[in-house]
Amino acid sequence: MKKHNNIIDGKYSPPHSGEYFPNKNPADLDDTIGFYAKSDRIDVDKAVKAARRAYKKWKLAPASYRGKIILKAYELLIKKKEVLAEVETREMGKIFTETLGDVQEAIDTAFYMAGEGRRLFGITTPSELRNKSAYTVREPVGVAGIITPWNFPAAIPAWKIFPALICGNTVVFKPAPDTPETARLFVELLMEAGIPDGVVNLVYGFGKDAGEAMVNHPDINLISFTGSTATGSHIAEICGKTLKRCSLEMGGKNGQIILEDADLDLAVEGALWGSFATSGQRCTATSRIIIEKSILKDFTKRFLEKTKKLRLGNGMDKKTDVGPIINNSQLEKITHYVEVGIKKDKAKLLCGGKRATGGKLKKGYFFEPTIFANGHKKMTIAQEEIFGPVTLIMPVNNLDEAMDVLNSTSYGLSSSIYTKDINKALKATSYAECGIVYVNGPTIGAECHLPFGGYKNTGNGHRESGNLVLDFFTETKTIYIDYSGRLQKAQIDTN
């Protein structure tokens, strides 16, 4: 079985420890994809030094030149879309049509960010004084530490790496240990596109070793992290002590509101997709269905019928609707929350609730799509992120109660409302305490040219995607040019 080394300064670099970890297919544990470098602080330091050296030239390269390299990466991503998607499905499990969408998000992001090479707009504004100009420019921050999760192994690295590069930063990239192969192909694609040696460095490994070393390294200027709230809080604490810039994209407990005037068939399809796509392993997954009591019975019947028809299996099988859970630890976490839902919360289990082991499923980490009913906002399973194919139906009397339930968690990432009443829809978009609101659509489905992120414990205020992400990856420099030929004193000379 092939061993894969880190990629540092454009070269394949074996780990300092000499150790490698296996990457297994969560749908079939007999299928080992390869072995990957188990990196430590020595490897991270080597990568940082390479990135620091490369930064001296890369930051001076015209943004349009950087954009051309990203545009070449865009073309290569299109060419290799299916290959990347197949690898994703094999190493993280979600069905092939979904991984194609994941790679398409990376393609779209590359195209969008390549265009920023001709924009990267600053602000030009009148000075308060005569014969004086005032404007701003964007400049890179330095070496960016990129730490990504396993559930979107092409899209999320693209969300972070492409804007970091177009702004002139260099990168040390640590992917999740569950999806190192997609990361390898992604970085090799950038090398093929012409990225200079040392501009993007790939370091495999685990959070306690490579991740900690990155966050603590004094020559990494910023950290962009997507993952759990607990880990994000830990990163923020470390970065806060050294005043290191960090962007945290963390958990969600997203609710789909369904009012009595909704298109019920559409609402059912939205709930099905939002709850069980990627086996519920999305930060934007629909883990709460908040529904008016007058349509509760009808909705529940339709939703339950469709959920029971979902087919579990290998994501490359065209008949599969729902793939595996990523690993045993996550499987145990989901099982724990189902037990809490039954024993502590006293929620009514309508279907699912256990690991699926029949036939070929016994070789992987599969969990049955699970629906709880009779939910209320004080339940543990209504408050804490499960990150699996589990959703809770929560009946309410009206929109005001629905908004109260929606906003009752410590998270604020995504929400949706199904209604034909424009007044109620606009009220929901205004009152929802979250970063993303969908009307007559599920809680999943972000687009790369719009900001992505949330309120409260979902993040620390920054946004990914769109043009707002550029604010994180750049410093703003304000420039004043006085051509009056005399000393002018701002706020004093006013004539």
How far are the Cα atoms of 205, 278, 395, 456 from residue 459, in angstroms, in the given order?
24, 22, 28, 7
* Residue 470: both structure tokens together: 């550029």
* Residue from 455, 445, 464 nearest 148 by CA: 464
332 among known catalytic residues: no
Give per-residue burial for 200-228: e unless 16+ CB within 10 Å, then b.
bbbbbbebebbbbbbbebeebbbbbbbbb
Please state, in angstroms and rounded to a whole number, the distance separating the CA atoms of residues 372 and 349: 5
Alpha helices in 80-228 (DSSP H): 81-92, 96-115, 155-166, 180-193, 212-216
For residue 255, what are the β-bridge partners? 288, 415
Query: Which residue has 């269905």 as its token pair?
Result: 289
Please state, in angstroms and rounded to a whole number, the distance separating the CA atoms of residues 162 and 176: 18
At 495 the pLDDT is 62
Please state, in angstroms and rounded to a whole number, the distance separating the CA atoms of residues 454 and 254: 11
Give the number of other CB atoms < 10 A from CB of residue 343: 9
Please state, in angstroms and rounded to a whole number, the distance separating the CA atoms of residues 316 and 336: 29
* Residue 416: both structure tokens together: 């949706």
Q: What is the DSSP letter of 211?
A: I
β-pairing, 254-258 with 414-418? parallel
Please state, in angstroms and rounded to a whole number, the distance separating the CA atoms of residues 148 and 349: 34
For residue 481, what are the β-bridge partners? 133
For residue 134, what are the β-bridge partners? 125, 480
At 1 the pLDDT is 76
Q: Which long-range contacts (CB under 8 A, 24 or more apart) does 330-334 make?
A: 330/281, 330/365, 330/387, 330/388, 331/355, 331/365, 331/367, 333/386, 333/387, 333/388, 334/367, 334/386, 334/387, 334/388, 334/389, 334/390
The whole-number mean pLDDT for each consecutive block of 10 residues of the chain, a chain of 495 residues, reads: 95 98 98 98 98 98 98 98 98 98 98 97 96 98 98 98 98 98 98 98 97 98 96 96 96 98 98 98 98 98 98 98 98 98 98 96 98 98 98 98 98 98 98 98 96 96 96 98 95 76
Task: Read off the pTM.
Answer: 0.97
Please state, in angstroms and rounded to a whole number, the distance separating the CA atoms of residues 445 and 439: 12
**Between vectors from CA 156 to CA 256 and to CA 255, what angle results, nearest 5°?**
10
CB 159 within 8 Å of CB 112: no
Annotated catalytic residue within 239, 283, 434, 448 = 283
Please state, in angstroms and rounded to a whole number, the distance separating the CA atoms of residues 118 and 113: 10
Alpha helices in 284-439 (DSSP H): 296-308, 328-343, 380-383, 399-406, 422-431
Please state, in angstroms and rounded to a whole number, the distance separating the CA atoms of residues 39 and 24: 18
* Residue from 150, 169, 158 nearest 56 by CA: 169
At 407 the pLDDT is 98
292 among known catalytic residues: no
At 259 the pLDDT is 98
At 321 the pLDDT is 98
**Between vectors from CA 441 to CA 439 and to CA 442, what angle results, nearest 5°?**
120
Annotated catalytic residue within 249, 292, 368, 385 = 249
